[in-house]
């Protein structure tokens, strides 16, 4: 591939008006850098006649959120080559792999059963906004944790759904999922005079069939935690088959 030279940001030295020399980087170098990012399978960088970036096309699997991939591309180019790229020029296409990768299998075999590490919900009644955060863990180290978040317009009556969305976001950040898990429904029911949170999660399996996962948890006076426990009930011991692992933890359900 011929080299196309792309100008980087010009930095001003101290308080003077002198400008640094323009760094030079080839299309091939940028593509090689982007392809080193997690879950990226292929990449194509398009430049105009002047060498400026027109578009960046990235092909990935479904293990990570497209917005996070875009941020990674921006950060990598800025950190390595001092290139600031508008996120609107970066497009991400995600495909379902025919078979799970060895890396994905190893990741889920290592994860096993998830546990709740922490969760909380912050709200601003004046502006009617909220932010939920859920952390799951499968070990003792920080590297063995995943964090999910939700933020936006918030009403107190929505706290079950908001905590469930944050919990699902955390699940989707674990490497190895064939397809993202989606919260289809979250509701409360009365069962034996107890309040129970029910969640329905949808996901595509390896054969591209939509599968429903159902979880339930009793509200023990901590309604925020009930939603998180319901999500865990839906996925624990039930997700491994979707990445091609034998579900060694599974019981009939």
**pLDDT value at position 244?**
40
For 82-153, where are the E strands, in sequence order? 90-94, 115-124, 129-137, 145-153
Instruction: Tell the residue number behind the tokens 């960088």, with chain if given.
Output: 45
Domains of the chain: 27-94 (3.30.300.30), 102-243 (3.30.160.270)
pLDDT value of residue 175: 67
Q: Is 58 helix (H, G, I), strand (E, B) or coil?
A: strand
Helices (H), the chain: 27-35, 66-81, 102-111, 159-172, 223-235
Q: Residue 74: its pLDDT value, please? A: 94
What pLDDT was estimated at residue 70?
93
Question: Is residue 34 classed as helix, strand or coil in its secondary structure?
Answer: helix
Per-residue pLDDT in tens (0 to 9) along the chain, 253 residues:
444 444 433 332 233 333 344 467 889 999 999 999 988 989 999 998 888 899 999 998 766 788 889 999 999 999 999 889 999 999 998 876 555 555 555 555 555 678 899 999 888 877 888 899 999 887 777 877 889 999 888 778 888 889 999 999 998 887 666 567 889 999 999 999 999 999 999 886 656 677 888 999 998 888 788 999 999 999 875 654 444 433 333 333 2
pLDDT recorded at residue 24: 78
pLDDT of 111: 57
- Say if residues 177 and 239 touch (Cβ distance below 8 Å): yes
For residues 170 and 31, give the distance between their C-alpha atoms in angstroms, rounded to a whole number. Answer: 29
Would you say 108 and 245 are in contact if contact means Cβ atoms under 8 Å apart? yes
């Amino acid at each position: 591939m011929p080299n196309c030279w792309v100008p980087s940001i010009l930095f001003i030295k101290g308080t003077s008006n002198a400008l640094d020399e323009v760094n030079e980087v080839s299309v091939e170098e940028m593509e090689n850098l982007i392809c080193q990012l997690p879950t990226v399978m292929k990449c194509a960088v398009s430049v105009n006649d002047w060498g400026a970036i027109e578009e960046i096309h990235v092909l990935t699997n479904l293990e990570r959120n497209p917005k996070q991939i875009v941020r990674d591309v921006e950060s990598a180019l800025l950190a390595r080559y001092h290139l600031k790229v508008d996120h609107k020029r970066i497009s991400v296409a995600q495909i379902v792999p025919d078979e799970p990768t060895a890396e994905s299998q190893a990741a889920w075999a290592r994860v096993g059963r998830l546990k709740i590490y922490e969760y909380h919900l912050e709200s601003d009644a004046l502006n009617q906004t909220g932010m939920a955060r859920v952390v799951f863990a499968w070990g003792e180290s920080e590297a063995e944790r995943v964090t999910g978040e939700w933020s936006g317009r918030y009403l107190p009556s929505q706290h079950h759904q908001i905590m469930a969305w944050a919990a699902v976001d955390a699940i989707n950040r674990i490497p190895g999922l064939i397809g993202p898990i989606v919260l289809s429904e979250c509701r409360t029911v009365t069962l034996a005079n107890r309040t129970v949170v029910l969640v329905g999660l949808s996901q595509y399996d390896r054969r591209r069939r939509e599968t429903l996962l159902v979880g339930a948890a009793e509200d023990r006076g901590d309604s925020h935690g009930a939603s998180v426990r319901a999500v865990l009930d839906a996925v624990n011991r039930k997700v491994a088959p979707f990445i091609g692992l034998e579900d060694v933890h599974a019981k009939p359900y």
